[in-house]
Structure 1
Amino acid sequence: MEWFIQLGKGLGAFFFNPLLYLGLLFAVYLGYIRVKRERKNFTIRVKDGWFEFRTYIKKGWLLGLIFSIVAFLIGFMIPLAYVFTLTVVTVILSIFLKPGALSAAYTFGISFFIILAIEYSGIELPILQGILDQVTKEVIPGAALLTGFLLLIEGNLINKSASQHTSPKLVRSKRGLRVGIHESKRLWLIPMLVLIPSNALSIPIDFWPIVPTASGGFTFLFVPFWLGFGAQIRSQHPERGVRVIGKQVTILGTIVTFISAVGFWYPIASIVAVGIAIIGRILISVVYYVKDDAQIFYFSRGNQGIVVLDIIPGSPADKMGLQIGDVIRTVNGVQVQTTQQYYEALQLNRAYCKLEVIDDQGENRLVNRALYEGEHHELGVITFEMDSKWEKKDIS
């Protein structure tokens, strides 16, 4: 019963952590700039402005709980100084307002090496010396293993969350043509329980609940970790492109986790694991960008019809089963190759619409649906025009 009481106290303290609320503001900001850009490009937003806020709140809880249980069963501890440093590093990196900079490899990895440098350099920081004195060779492997765990969570979230509901965007190709890309920017809250050596809290936080053990005791600490992701997908279907990155991050997290586990017996393995995490995550981003940039744009004008850049949720196009990457070949029996032709063909029958569509696998299909008053007059299809008026206006 005492353990449950202490867990409850630890959970209550979670809500006093400033990272929790700074993350809320960051997520709202991401939604704001996305909606502003989409309205500028397409005069309408695809998802509402609170989408990133809901993603931040909801998506990371289950994975945080699962890995908290694993961490508790393993029983590894991390120094309080590491948690404190991680908070500071996270806040500093968030100043750039780039969620991609908040990968676990960067926030956890940089914090790890800062603590390592303080431990082995003998630097003394009077205000924080009480918690820095608790950094030992025995607890540093726990920080490395935590980096691996969070990379595994990051890979899973990229694969299942960041790949969904990516945002369309208009850019210029190298030849000056108007083309579409998709970008994904996410911030996730990962609530995790970590074990802190009990004596680490004796100076700064005397009131914290302590769980006694034979080895001296530990305390529960619930921490609102952040994970961030940012990527632009040019040459692939956006869902597949993001999933490629997610799979690579998961593989990296697996490697880092296994090597960091060895660090409990051979401390040098902890340093190697975190180094691999940072370098590996950089390489994943750089290599994907270089390969993606070298290929042709996935969303570019073709001779077959109108390319579907995105679909507004709940619109007629959504209910008809149109998908990102589909090409609308005919509308009400009329072949279309420009958005002007597409809009004119829709007006031929305002009560019913029949489309011939080519999916991204090259397969043809017919979709049709009755149209009702008040529904989106363009079916809710997000595309891009290729006309001389736009070109002249944009270039000037």
Structure 2
Amino acid sequence: MVETWLVELLKGTGRFFLHPVLYYLVFLVGVLGVMRVKRERKNFHIRAEDAYFELRQLFPLGMVIGLVLSIVTIAAGIAVPFAAILLIAVFTLLWSLTTNIRLISPAYTIGAAFFAIIIIAQNNWSVPLFSQTFSSVGDKVYPSMVVILGLLLLAEGILIFKNASKGSSPKLAKSKRGQVVGVHEVKRLWMVPLFLLIPGNALHLPFDWWPVFHLGTKEYSLIFVPFAIGFHQQIKGMLPKVAIELHGRRVIILGALISLLSVVGYWYPLISIVVAAFAVIGRELLALFAYLKDDSMTSYFSKKNNGVMIIGVIPESPADKMGLQVGEIISKANGVVVRDEQTFYEALQKNRAHCKLEVFDTKGEIRFVQRALYEGDHHELGVLFVQDERKYDEKIG
């Protein structure tokens, strides 16, 4: 028995490296990184994070979450038809072609696959190259797909809460009044790999009660599936970390609710259809609510009368080592009152060996930071500000 499981684990892992979504995600993340760097250089003449930043976020946390969810799905015996895995991959590709990264959410990819598999089965459609796979699906609803949807929505919320605010990208935009303001944007892709049970001929049921949530067969195989999770949010009305973590908590609540409701579908299959629709609509409403709330707020990153606001800090730069944070306001540099980027750097030139800043933190409390400067530091302190109208128009033009 143990030997059979080990062999299936190895086979399932091997199939993981044959899955096209794995390589497609790496490609997409690379494109996102390059586009972000290009935009940041256009706005600020320098990039914040390097082009590989998004790639470094793709795997680590998602792998940990995937391991935990794999234990849950296998222990509960949650099995899905192979046709569902194929359709999820297809909709991941299709929704990515819209260039709207947030559509690569489990709510949309698994949700679309769930309804597609019902429609295909109901109409007895033949799918080229995979006719045998889809003919074995049968005319039934698969609650297991909705359970996976709920668990991955929960994973999405955790990833947003824990990871999305890291390295949020500063950019410049025009407000409704035509003023130059700063916003923060997050475009992130994560991969959450899951071991899933599919109908096969390798693993026999060791107990009468396992799998708990079965497909009606007695034999299964394991497959290691890379699931894509996409996220996009633009924030202008508050600190990016606050807004993103708030959004993440809401998605976690939605994912937990969908996971609980989805279990009912094993006793009342038609409930699964309602829960899947609720997941899609709920995820869309959360995105819409976040957008409308942010759009109704005044610009957080705009010109201030008491100094210049920091919209970005370059990692490992002197500014980063001084502890400067996004959203803080620099009111004085080397004892000189600063009103814009030009006067800030002119003040730094007054003392080429030392930098002393008077800063209002995000709570409005004043603090002082200082650091010895080395050759070139005063030119590349590593802090990004909202540009004035003239500079913005020159860059956009």
SS in 2 for 1:211: strand
Q: Secondary structure of the residue that 2:30 maps to in structure 1?
A: helix
Aligned to 2:203, the other structure's residue is in SS state: coil
Question: Which of 266, 269, 278 lines up with 1:267 in the alignment?
Answer: 269
Deviation (angstroms), 1:128: 2.5
Once residues 378 and 230 of structure 2 are traced to their aligned partners in structure 1, the CA distance between those partners, rounded to angstroms, is: 34
Letter in 2 for 1:211: L
* Per-residue deviation, 1:118: 1.6
SS in 2 for 1:377: coil
Provide the C-alpha distance between the structure 1 equivalents of 2:56 and 2:24, rounded to a whole number of angstroms. 15
Q: 1:174 to 1:266 in 2, by over 3 A?
A: same
Residues in 2 aligned to 1:243 and 1:51: alpha-carbon distance in whole angstroms: 20
Partner of 1:304: 306
**How far did 1:393 drift?**
4.2
> Displacement of 1:138 after TM fit?
7.0
Q: State yes or no: 1:96 paired with 2:88.
A: no
- How far the C-alpha of 1:136 sits from its partner, in A, is 4.8
Q: In the alignment, which residue of structure 1 is the partner of 2:385? A: 383
Q: Give matches, 1:316-327, under 5 Å.
A: 316-327=318-329
Q: Is the 8 A contact 1:78 1:139 kept in 2?
A: no
The residue that corresponds to 1:205 in the other structure is none
What is the identity, as a one-letter code, of the residue corresponding to 1:142? Answer: S
Helix, strand or coil for the counterpart of 2:315? coil
Cα displacement (A) at 1:378: 4.2
SS of alignment partner, residue 60 of structure 1: helix
Amino acid across the alignment from 1:212: H
Instruction: Tell me which residue corresponds to 1:83.
Output: 85
Give the aligned partner of residue 213 of structure 2.
none
Identity %: 44
Q: Indicate if the aligned counterparts of 2:154 and 2:252 stay in contact, CA closer than 8 A.
A: yes
Alpha-carbon distance between aligned partners in 2 of 1:356 and 1:126, rounded to the nearest angstrom? 67
CA distance in 2, matches of 1:12, 1:376: 52
Shift, 1:135, TM fit:
2.3
**Aligned equivalents of 1:290, 1:138: Cα separation in 2:** 39
Q: Secondary structure at the match of 2:204?
A: coil
Determine the C-alpha separation between the residues in 1 that align with 2:332 and 2:270: 63
Aligned to 2:21: 19
Following TM superposition, by how much is the alpha carbon of 1:316 offset from its aligned partner in structure 2, in angstroms?
A: 0.9
Deviations 1:123-151 (A, max 9, x none): 33364331123325777010010000000
The correspondence for 1:165, drawn from 164, 167, 170, is 167
Match of 1:129 in 2: 131
User: How far apart are the structure 1 equivalents of 2:68 and 2:334?
Assistant: 51
CA-to-partner distance for each residue in 1:200-238, whole Å, 9 max, x for gaps? xxxxxxxxxx21226521000111111100110110100
Which is further off, 118-127 or 225-234? 118-127
2:111–2:276 contact (8 Å) kept in structure 1: yes
* Residues 226-260 of structure 1, C-alpha deviations (whole Å, 9 max, x = no match): 11001101101001111111111111101111110
**Which of 313, 336, 339 matches 1:337?**
339
Q: Which runs of 5+ in 1 are unaligned?
A: 200-209
The structure-2 alpha-carbon separation of the partners of 1:96 and 1:376, relative to structure 1 and needing over 3 Å to count, comes to: farther
- Count how many residue pairs are aligned between Structure 1 and Structure 2: 385
Is contact 1:257–1:273 with CA below 8 Å preserved after alignment? no
After TM superposition, what 4+ stretches of structure 1 lie above 6 angstroms from structure 2? Answer: none
Instruction: Give runs of aligned pairs for residues 172-321 of structure 1, distance below 5 A.
Output: 172-198=174-200, 210-213=202-205, 216-321=218-323
Q: How does 1:22-41 map to 2 (within 5 A)?
A: 22-41=24-43
- Taking the aligned partners of 2:395 and 2:379, their CA distance within structure 1 comes to 26
1:285/1:230 CA distance change after superposition, 3 Å: same
CA 1:271–1:338: 2 relative to 1, 3 Å: same
Deviations 1:39-59 (CA, angstroms, capped at 9, x unpaired): 000000010101111111323
Q: Secondary structure at the match of 1:375?
A: coil
CA separation of 1:376/1:110 partners in 2, compared to 1, >3 Å: closer, same or farther? farther
Computed over aligned residues only, the root mean square deviation of the Cα atoms, in angstroms, reads: 1.7
Task: Describe the superposition over 1:255-288 as per-residue Cα deviations: whole angstroms up to 9, x where unpaired.
Answer: 1111101111111221111111100111111111
After TM superposition, the structure 1 stretch with the greater mean CA deviation from structure 2, 47-56 or 112-121, is 112-121
